[in-house]
Structure 1
Amino acid sequence: MELDIVALSRLQFAVTALYHFLFVPLTLGLSVLLAIMETVYVMTGRTIWRQMTKFWGTLFGINFVLGVATGLVMEFQFGMNWSYYSHYVGDIFGAPLAIEGLMAFFLEATFVGLFFFGWDRLSKVGHLMATWAVAIGSNLSALWILIANGWMQNPVGSAFNPQTMRMEVTDFFEVVFNPVAQAKFVHTVSAGYVTASIFVLGVSAWYLYNRRYVDLAKRSMTVAASFGLASALSVVVLGDESGYLSTEHQKMKLAAIEAMWKTEPAPAAFTLFGFPDQESRETHFAVHIPWVMGLIGTRSLTTQIPGIEDLVEHAKVRIRQGISAYDAVQQIRAASDQSAVPQAARDALEKNGRDLGYALLLKRYVDDPRKATDAQIDQAAWDTVPSVPSLFWSFRIMVGLGFFFILLTGTFFYLSARRRLDHYPWLLRLAVFAIPLPWIAAELGWVVAEFGRQPWIIEGILPTAAAVSSLGAMTVLLTLLGFIVIYTVLFIIEMGLMLRAIQSGPKPDDEPEAILVPPSLIAAE
C-alpha cells in the first residue's frame, strides 16, 4: 500500500491537536472558576472557599502541565511536517504565536507558580491578583493562538510577494482584529468555560451523591451552574455569529455543514436530519425546517446561500483565473530584473492574484498548472468540497450537546436557588455521566472548523497538499506511531492523577475560620 505523505502529516497533526485540545478548554474555564472562588474567599473570609480554591487548583495544575507539554509539540510540527507552510506564511503566522509566548504564556506560567506556592507568602489580595493573572494569561494565550488560526480561515491584512514567493503582512491590525478570529476566540473561550463548569458540576455531584464533602460540593455546584449557564447561552449566541461569518468568508464550509447541494430560493431551509451521500450528491431522508438556515446564515429573508454545485462552478472560474496569475508569477521570477517584467504579466497578477491559490490545487494532478486539461480543472474544483457527511453530523451532534448543557446547567441553577441540589439523586448521576460530553462537543467543533476548511491550509491561498515538508512517508508514520504511544501513556498517567485527587478529596485547610466580632462587643470591652 502506498503511503500518502499529505494524509499522514494531516493525521499526525490532527492526533496531536485533538489530544492537546483535551486540556485547553478545562484550563481556560478552571482558571476563571478558581479566580471567582478565591474572590469570594477574600470578600467573605470563609475558609471553605479557600479550601475549594486549593482543591480545584490541584486538578487545574495536573491539567495545565499536560496542556503545556502537548502544546509545545504542536508548534514544532510546523517546522518538521509543514515546512513549506512555515516558509510561505511564517511572516504572518509566526507573529501572533511569538506574542502569545512573550505576553501570555510567560505571564500564565509565572503566576501559576505563585498560585501554588504563594498561599502563605502573599497577602490575601496579593494571592488573588496572582490567581486572576493566571486566568487572564490563559485567555490571552487562547486569543493570540486563535488570531493565528483565524487568519488561516480568513487571510486578511496580507499580500503575496512574487519575488520571495511568500505571504507578507500589509496591515497587522487587520490581522489582529480579523472578525473571524474574534468570533472564534469568544466562541472557543465560552466553550472552555462550559467544559470546566460541567466538570466541576459533575465531580461535585459525585461527592454530593455519596454524601462526601457536602458543603464544598454544594458551593462548587452553585458556582459551576451559574457560570456554566451563562457560558452555555453565550456559546449558542457566538456560534450563530460564527455561522454568519462563514456565509461571508467560507461559503463552501457552510454549504457542506448543511449538505446543501443546490442553491435554494431565499430564505434557505435548515436540514434538521438526513443522510448526506457525497457520491450521488443528495441527502437521503432529509427533514427540513423552512427559512431557518437563511435567517442564521444571512440574517435576512432575501439573501441566497449558494449550494455546493454552484460553488464548484465558481471554483472552476477561479482556477482558470489562477492559472493566469500563476503564469504571471513565473514570468516575474524568470525576469533578470524588475524592469524586464512584461507589463501584461504585472496586469495579470494584479487582476487575478487573489486566485493564485486555486491554480495550486492543480499541482496534485499536473506539475505545471498551465498545462492542466479541462478534466483536471473539473477534478480540482470538486476537491474544494470537504467531507460533507463528516461535517453534517459533527455540527449537529455539537449543537445538540450545546442545548443539553443549557438544560443541565439551567436545571442545577434553579435547584441551587431553591437549595434543593441533593433532592434528586438521578440528576446527580446524570451530571456525573455528563462530564465527558463537553470534550466531545469541543473536539467536534475543532473538526467542523479545521476539517471544513479542506482542501485549504489557508483558505483560498495555499492548498494543504502544497504545504507539507519533503519527508519520507515512513518517517512521518513512525513519528505518528511514536506520538500515539507517548500520548496514550501520558493520558493514562493524567487520568490516574486526576482520579486519585478526586478520590482523595480536598485537604483540611489550616487557616482558622474568620470570626466577625460585633462592633457593640468591641465597644463594651
Structure 2
Amino acid sequence: MVDLLLVDLSRLQFALTALYHFLFVPLTLGLSILIAMMETVYVMTRRPIWRDMTKFWGVLFGINFALGVATGITMEFQFGMNWAFYSHYVGDVFGAPLAIEGLMAFFLEATFVGLFFFGWDRLSARAHLVVTWLMALGTNFSALWILVANGWMQNPVGSAFNVDTMRMEVTDFLAVIMNPVAQAKFVHTVSAGYVCAAAFVLGVSSWYMLKGRHVALAKRSFVIASAFGLASTLSVIVLGDESGYALTDNQKMKLAAIEAMWKTEPPPADFTAFGIPDLKERVTRYAVHIPWAMGLIGTRSLDKPIEGIEELVAKAEVRIRNGILAYDALERIKADRTDQAAREAFARSSADLGYALLLKRFVADPREASEAQIKEASWTTVPHVPSLFFTFRIMVLCAFVLLAVFAVAFWHTMREEEAPRWLFRMAIIAMPLPWIAIEFGWFVAEVGRQPWIIDGVLPTFLATSELGVYNLFLTIAGFTLLYGVLAVIEVKLMLAAIRKGPDISREVEAMFATTRAPARPLAVQPAE
C-alpha cells in the first residue's frame, strides 16, 4: 500500500522550496523590464538621472537574481531526488522544456546579467542598452519554458503512453509548446511579476519621498512604476479571466472546486463572491452571488453550463471503470508483448488508464477493487474545496486593491499635482500584496490539480521516490534552516542598498541640490 505520509512530506518539501523560490522570480521578471525601460529613456535623453536610476534598481535586481538562482537549482534537483518515478514516467516529455530552459534561457539570462553589471564602462550606451533588453528577454524566456513544463502537467497534450517503453512520450512537441493552458499561465504569471516589481518600485520610491531623500530619482521612479503597475494589474485581471476560461475546457474539477459549485447550475452560472463551503453536507453556506458572472467568465456565453462537483465525480467514476479495462489490457501486454488483442483493447481505453491508477491508493491491483473502493476513488478527484475557495478570493482581492493604488498614483502623476502623503504610505503598505497574491495563485494552481501530478495521467501518490520518512524530515529541516538564513541575507542586503540609496552623479546632485530634503514631499511630476 502507498505510504501517504511519505507522499505528503515529499509534497511539502517541494511546495516549500517552490514557494520560496517564487518569492524572487516575479521581482526579477518585472525589474528587468523596468530597468530596460529606464535605460532606454537615458539613451534617448542622455539625462544622468536615468542612468543613476538604472544602476540603483539594477543593484536590487542583482541581489534578488542571485537568490532566485540559488533556490531554483535546488528545486529542479528534487525532480530526480524526491520524484524519481515521475521523472522516469514522464521525463521524455517534461524534461525537454526543462532542458531548454536551462540550456538556452538561463544561460542567455545569466550571460547578459554579467554584461549588464560589468559593461557600463566597457560598452557604448547603445550597446549596453541592447544588453539590458536581452537580459530582460532572457529572464522572461526562462519563465516561458518553466511554464510550458508546468502547463503540460495541468493539460498533458502532445503526448501519449507507449506500451513498449511503459512511459509517456512526446507525439507533438509543438502542441506541448502551444498548449493553451501553458500560454495562459505564461502571460498571467509574467504580468503578475510586472505588478510585483511595480509595487516594489512604487513602495521604495514612496519611502524616499516621505523621507525627503533622493527625491529626483524617487519622483521619476514613482511615475514609471504607477503607469507600469496600472497597465500590468489590468493585464493580470484580464488574463486571469482568460485562465478561468481555459479551466472550463481543461480542468473542470479545479474550476468547480474554486467556486465551491457542488451541483451544476442552470446557465449562466453565478459567481460566488463569498461563502463558507461545508465539506460534510457538500453545500456552500451564506453564499453571496454575483449573477451571471461565472457563466461569462467560464464559458463566454449565457447558455452553456459549468458542471458541478457531483456531476464531475460521476464522470470520474465512469472513467475509473473504463481505466480498469486499460489496466487489464496493459497487464496482458506485459505478460505477452505479441498479444495483439490486448493492444487493441488498450488503445480503446488508454485515455482512462490514469483513473484506474487512482485505485492503487486502496488496493494493489485495480482489477480487484470493490464497488465501494471505486466510488471512494472517484471522490478523491475532488481537491480540497475550502482552501481553494478562500485562497482564490484573497488573490483576487489583492489584485483589486493594487489596481486602486496604482490608479490613484497614476491619476496624481497625470494631473501634475502634489501627491498626498497618505498615498505614499498606502503604496508602502501595499508592497507585500503582489507576493501574497502570487503565492496564493500558485497554491490554487497546484492544489487545484490534486490528486494528479499529471492531470488525468499520473496520481501524485504514485510519483514519489522510495525515500524514508526520516530522510524527508531531515531534508525539510535542512532546507528550512538554509532558506531561513538566505532570507535574512536577502532582506539585509536589500534594506542596506535601499538605505544607502542611489549613486547620484555630481551633475544630478547639483541640479537637484535644492530639493534634497523638502519639508513636504514634492509633487510627482511626469518623467522628463
- Structure 1 position 356 matched with structure 2 position 353: yes
Residue 526 of structure 2 is matched in structure 1 by: none
Query: Where does the alignment leave 5 or more consecutive residues of structure 2 unmatched?
Result: 512-528
Aligned residue identity for 2:471: T
CA distance in 1, matches of 2:393, 2:277: 13
Q: TM-score, normalised by structure 1?
A: 0.95
Q: TM-score, normalised by structure 2?
A: 0.95
Deviation at 1:280, TM superposition (A): 1.7
Residue 205 of structure 1 is matched in structure 2 by: 206
The match for 2:395 among 385, 394, 398 is 398
Instruction: For 1:428-439, list aligned pairs within 5 A.
Output: 428-439=424-435
Instruction: For 1:44-123, list aligned pairs within 5 A.
Output: 44-123=45-124
CA distance in 1, matches of 2:446, 2:318: 25
CA distance in 1, matches of 2:226, 2:155: 35
Aligned length: 509
- Structure 1 position 408 matched with structure 2 position 405: yes
CA distance in 2, matches of 1:198, 1:211: 20
CA distance in 2, matches of 1:247, 1:271: 16
1:104–1:30 Cα change, 3 Å: same
1:511–1:96 Cα change, 3 Å: farther
CA distance in 1, matches of 2:303, 2:4: 48
SS in 1 for 2:90: helix
The match for 1:442 among 424, 435, 438 is 438
1:216–1:514 Cα change, 3 Å: closer
Checking the alignment, whether the CA contact within 8 Å between 2:4 and 2:461 is kept in structure 1 is no
Deviation at 1:323, TM superposition (A): 0.4
Residue 506 of structure 1 is matched in structure 2 by: 502
The sequence identity of aligned pairs, in percent, is 67
CA distance in 2, matches of 1:501, 1:279: 52
1:125–1:514 Cα change, 3 Å: farther
SS in 1 for 2:161: strand
CA distance in 1, matches of 2:345, 2:273: 45
CA distance in 1, matches of 2:131, 2:46: 18
CA distance in 2, matches of 1:264, 1:446: 27
CA distance in 1, matches of 2:508, 2:287: 63
- Structure 1 position 455 matched with structure 2 position 451: yes
SS in 1 for 2:236: helix
Residue 332 of structure 1 is matched in structure 2 by: 333
Residue 248 of structure 1 is matched in structure 2 by: 249
- Structure 1 position 380 matched with structure 2 position 377: yes
SS in 1 for 2:190: helix
Deviation at 1:414, TM superposition (A): 1.0
Aligned residue identity for 2:445: A
CA distance in 2, matches of 1:157, 1:509: 54
Aligned residue identity for 1:461: V
CA distance in 1, matches of 2:346, 2:400: 48
Deviation at 1:284, TM superposition (A): 1.1
Query: Where does the alignment leave 5 or more consecutive residues of structure 1 unmatched?
Result: 516-525
Deviation at 1:253, TM superposition (A): 0.1
Deviation at 1:508, TM superposition (A): 2.5
Render the CA deviation track for 1:370-399: whole Å, top value 9, x for unaligned: 000011111111100001011001111111
Residue 519 of structure 1 is matched in structure 2 by: none
Checking the alignment, whether the CA contact within 8 Å between 1:263 and 1:304 is kept in structure 2 is yes
Deviation at 1:277, TM superposition (A): 1.3
Deviation at 1:289, TM superposition (A): 1.4
Aligned residue identity for 1:189: V
1:510–1:85 Cα change, 3 Å: farther
Render the CA deviation track for 1:65-104: whole Å, top value 9, x for unaligned: 0000000001100000000000000001000011111111
Checking the alignment, whether the CA contact within 8 Å between 1:47 and 1:513 is kept in structure 2 is no
Checking the alignment, whether the CA contact within 8 Å between 1:457 and 1:467 is kept in structure 2 is yes
SS in 2 for 1:11: helix
SS in 2 for 1:4: helix
Render the CA deviation track for 1:233-266: whole Å, top value 9, x for unaligned: 0111111110001000000000000000011111
Checking the alignment, whether the CA contact within 8 Å between 2:49 and 2:508 is kept in structure 1 is no
CA distance in 1, matches of 2:470, 2:162: 34
- Structure 1 position 418 matched with structure 2 position 415: yes
Checking the alignment, whether the CA contact within 8 Å between 1:146 and 1:184 is kept in structure 2 is yes
Residue 514 of structure 2 is matched in structure 1 by: none
Deviation at 1:3, TM superposition (A): 7.4
- Structure 1 position 152 matched with structure 2 position 153: yes
CA distance in 2, matches of 1:478, 1:317: 41
CA distance in 2, matches of 1:484, 1:511: 47
Aligned residue identity for 2:505: D
Checking the alignment, whether the CA contact within 8 Å between 1:319 and 1:355 is kept in structure 2 is yes
Residue 42 of structure 2 is matched in structure 1 by: 41
CA distance in 1, matches of 2:136, 2:76: 22
Aligned residue identity for 1:392: F
Render the CA deviation track for 1:285-309: whole Å, top value 9, x for unaligned: 1111121111110011111111000
The match for 2:461 among 441, 465, 478 is 465
Residue 25 of structure 2 is matched in structure 1 by: 24
Checking the alignment, whether the CA contact within 8 Å between 1:91 and 1:169 is kept in structure 2 is yes
Render the CA deviation track for 1:412-467: whole Å, top value 9, x for unaligned: 111111223x5311111110111111000000000011110000000000000000
Q: For the aligned residues, what is the CA RMSD?
A: 1.4
SS in 2 for 1:283: strand
- Structure 1 position 368 matched with structure 2 position 365: yes
Deviation at 1:162, TM superposition (A): 1.6
CA distance in 2, matches of 1:302, 1:271: 19
